[in-house]
Amino acid sequence: MLGQRVTVGVDVGGTKLVASAVDPEGGTLGLERWPEPVREYEDVLGAISELVGRIRASVDPSPVGAVGVAAAAFIDADRRRVRGATYLVDWRDRPFAADLADRLQLPVVVENDADAAAWGEYRYGAGRGTRSLVLATVGTGIGGGIVIDGRLVTGGFGLGGEIGHLQVVPDGVRCGCGARGCVEQYASGTAIAAAVRSAVREDPAAAPRLLARAGGDVARIDGRLITTLAGEGDEPARRALGEGGVWLGRALAQVATVVDPSLIVVGGGLAEAAGDLVLEPVRRSFAAAASLPHVRPPAPITAAALGNAAGIVGAASLAAALMDTHNPKAVVHK
């Protein structure tokens, strides 16, 4: 690997900032992590610059050719400006890619974090070798990304693949996006925990082990505790995860009707921790709701393979495309 050109992938959100060099086979070469959350725009630029500097020194003499950033933000269709960012401060309408490129003196690609993860899974993870893929990430919220015929779908306004905002309940729970009934309000870790807390407040006997492990404080029941107890066989915790999986399966059936993927991948922190406790209800619900069952083979639904590295690897792969202008597959956005 020594002397071979690499790219750097960066994953930035409201609570994390991590970066790694990535080789042409999708392997990560060490990981650099910023020690504390950074959300302010200028602070993030500075932190990324420092991490990339460390990585460039660590991989020398392998030259870094470009940097890809997976950001928890909505990016415009041209991938030049930030349309908005829920967890990052003062990012709206900022030319992030250009500003970071000026600091690094390197080509920079910026992509939505879930879209970058979808591309990473497509190129080097669970979707390697498949034709078209849908990725759903289940964690604090629900994100998604879509790859069709080898191209990452970003859409006319840059917001393609926002699976978490499919409506599954007309006039349902109000979502942070302003709509009602989005699947994120029923299947995310935040939503599952909120539903359990509500049930326990109404009837403490509804989940006695959860309440006991939370020290009797309903407010301490969160997605991590629910997942832990579900793994230990606690029935209310398992049922809560299963209900979230049912909602997600219904949403994914809608996606499949439109884009006809050959594979569906489910990742994210909660899905990874819960495993089949989420995946099996997703599969059953998807099969029950899927359209054209007599002519469309059911898309397999599998767990993501790259874990927390998916965004880094995907962003680095998108950046690598900049370094090969003679490769027709270098253009990866519709």
How distant, in Å, are the alpha carbons of 214, 322, 323 from that of 327? 55, 9, 9
Q: How many residues does the chain have?
A: 334
Contact 322, 108 (CB under 8 A): no
Contact 58, 1 (CB under 8 A): no
Residue 231, sorted as left (phi over 0), alpha (psi -120 to 50) or beta, turns out to be alpha
Q: Which token pair is 250?
A: 């219904």
Give the integer Cα–Cα distance in Å for 304 and 183. Answer: 20
Contact 31, 56 (CB under 8 A): no
Q: In the chain, what are the domains?
A: 6-113+308-312 (3.30.420.40), 126-304 (3.30.420.40)
Local confidence pLDDT in tens for the 334 residues of the chain = 455 689 999 999 888 999 999 999 999 998 999 999 999 999 999 999 999 999 999 988 778 999 999 999 999 999 989 998 888 889 999 999 999 999 999 999 999 999 999 999 999 999 999 999 999 999 989 999 999 999 999 999 999 999 999 999 999 999 988 999 999 999 999 999 999 999 999 999 999 999 999 999 999 999 999 999 999 999 999 999 999 999 999 999 999 999 999 999 999 999 999 999 999 999 999 999 998 888 888 899 999 999 999 999 999 999 998 776 434 333 334 3
Give the integer Cα–Cα distance in Å for 252 and 73. Answer: 22
Amino acid at 182: C
Phi, psi of 45 (to 5 degrees): -60, -45
Prediction pTM value: 0.92
Alpha helices in the chain (DSSP H): 41-59, 96-104, 113-124, 184-187, 189-202, 208-213, 223-231, 235-259, 269-274, 276-289, 310-321
